[in-house]
Amino acid sequence: MKKILFSQLVLAMLIITACKKNKSDQPETTSGNATLTAGNYGFDGTASLGKFSSTKVGITQITVNGLTTFTLSAIKDGSNESISIVLLQKITATGTITLTYNGGTGGIVLSKDYTKPGDMSLNYSTERFSATGKGGGEINITKLDGNTIEGTFYAIAYNNTGKESFVEQGAFSGKIQ
């Protein structure tokens, strides 16, 4: 049940971030509100594509019907690639959250094109597996001060055809909205 719920939350989050809005509909953002970087990342078994850097980051934590979800979504600057973290829990303290395939704690989705959320060959999840491995990763919350959060992460994820994606040396910081 948790796996189905997680999949639905991730799909809904991808659809929401893929929606195009008129510039006048976009909320004004303050420079430096939230950032996400990764030292290395790649798709389909390739070597590192280099650094992932985003200033288009949203961090939320909401509770609906007793289930609290922490979500962090980032679109790479100048690209349609994205990294999304969804945790099925309330973040109340610093610490490490281990993501395992079918673990029920949430996961990370790496996308080649966030505007195509329905194309599962472009979206790689820690909740998928291949013949040679299972998705997983780790999120380490290093600072939580009121609504300000900082942390690090890494992940191995797979698309629906079993191709692998990875992200390492990830870091994020910003305000939870």
Q: How many C-beta neighbours within 10 Å does residue 146 have?
A: 7
Please report whether residue 25 resides in a domain.
no
Q: Encode the chain (177 residues) as per-residue pLDDT tens digits.
A: 444 444 444 444 443 344 333 333 333 333 458 999 999 999 997 778 899 999 999 999 999 999 999 999 999 999 999 999 999 999 999 999 999 988 888 999 999 999 999 999 999 999 998 888 899 999 999 999 999 999 999 999 999 999 999 999 999 999 999
pTM score over 0.85 = no
Examine residue 28 and state whether it is found in any structural domain, yes or no: no
In a domain, 97, yes or no: yes
User: Is 77 part of a structural domain of the chain?
Assistant: yes
Residue 6 within any structural domain of the chain: yes
Which residues are bridge partners to 63 per DSSP? 68
Q: Measured between alpha carbons, how far is 55 from 33 in angstroms, rounded to an integer?
A: 8
Is the alpha carbon torsion for 90, 125, 98, 34 positive or negative? negative
Note whether residue 118 is domain-resident. Answer: yes
Instruction: Please list, in sequence order, all residues whose beta carbon lies within 8 angstroms of the beta carbon of residue 83, skipping any fewer than 6 positions away.
Output: 36, 38, 41, 52, 54, 73, 74, 76, 108, 109, 110, 111, 167, 170
Number of domains in the chain: 1
Using the 8-state DSSP alphabet, how is residue 77 labeled? T
Residue 23 lies in a domain: no
Domain boundaries, position 98 = 2-17+33-175
Residue 24 lies in a domain: no
